[in-house]
Amino acid sequence: MKRFLSLMIVVLLGFNIFLALEVGQLNEKVKDLSGSQSTHIVETKVTQFTTNVTEVVDKSLEKVVGIHSYRFNNLYSTGSGAVYKVNGNEVLIVTNNHVISNADRVDVSFANGVEVTGQVMGSDLFTDLALIKVTVDFEVIPFRAGDSALSKVGEWVLAIGSPLGNEFAGSVTMGILSGKDRVVPVDLDNDGRSDWDMIVLQTDAAINPGNSGGPLINLAGELIGINSMKIAMESVEGMGFAIPINEVVPIMEQLETNGRVIRPVLGVSAVGISDMSIYQKNSFGIQLNQTNGIYITSVVAGSPAQVAGIQQGDILIRFDGADITSFKQFRKLLYGKKINDLVDIVLTRQSETITVRVRLQ
């Protein structure tokens, strides 16, 4: 019996040693297999990512230009631009209005080192866009316009331009599309109050002075925005903004055709009641607790407003079904209409509420 028990113990010990060796070998195989697969996947992704980005940049650099604005032969502003359209030897370039504003000469420098003087075909203060035409004797390829409405938050984007001037021309920064349809108030007349709301794309790709007017592109090399501004505060990092290409194209078409953006006119001068002081409200006979609406300070003779019966002293409280909260909002609604559109306007005149229909011109 003792012999049998001893034999069984020896057999069991041997079997345990065999199992331990098998398990150890299996673990080694699993580690080798796992490490091999992980390394392969990472290397593949890094290679594809690098190749895609460098190829896109290589094909895009020649489509980006530097803009140099002069006044009285003195350089006072630099920026960037994107090749928008090519008609034979004529090249159309989109940039920001604030880059070329007040310039009496605008020079355009291409990636091949050629610099030519351009003609400003038109610009628009509200959208901060401008169109420049140059004539060249070499081949230029325009950007292919993407669809900013289809761009997705989180996708990779590239900003290309000349930050801090021509010395750093062709600089590329990368980030993601941080947000869409952002509303950024802007002060157009430098009076300390916002006059317009810009609808923009947000990105954390670095945008510096000199990048203004340059392209924001996706990894397909498509132009999805025109870099326009950033929030420059010590407490803020990585908040740049670009005008969506879907907003840019209609403006470029008007600038190319008309030299300016034609917007509908109502024919009034007005001030937002929300912007009035207590003294101003008293002077105009407006209740001190009233904040909505705009006060009509004058009506242009022969304008749509006069034809419809709008008078000085009226308070416009609704425009085409929307309650008016500020002059900025009213102007945005007005400029969103087309010439010859019919709109219903609700006014208060003394204690009376009046509705008029106006055909915009």
| Catalytic (active-site) positions | 98, 128, 212
Name residue 302's amino acid. Answer: G
Neighbours of 98 (CB within 10 A): 20
Residues in CB range of 109: below 8 A, 6 or more apart: 65, 66, 68, 115, 166, 169
- Contact call for residues 346 and 318 (beta carbons, < 8 A): yes
> Is the CB of residue 84 less than 8 Å from the CB of residue 239?
no
Neighbours of 65 (CB within 10 A): 31
Number of Cβ atoms within 10 Å of the Cβ of 224: 27
User: What's the rounded Cα separation, in Å, for the pair 243 and 216?
Assistant: 9
Instruction: Write phi, then psi, for 174 (nearest 5 degrees).
Output: -130, 145
Query: Distance between CA atoms of 179 and 196, rounded to whole angstroms?
Result: 20
Alpha helices for the chain (secondary structure H): 2-60, 97-100, 245-258, 278-284, 304-308, 327-335
Contact present, 286 and 276 (Cβ < 8 Å): yes
Question: Cβ of 282: how many Cβ atoms within 10 Å?
Answer: 12
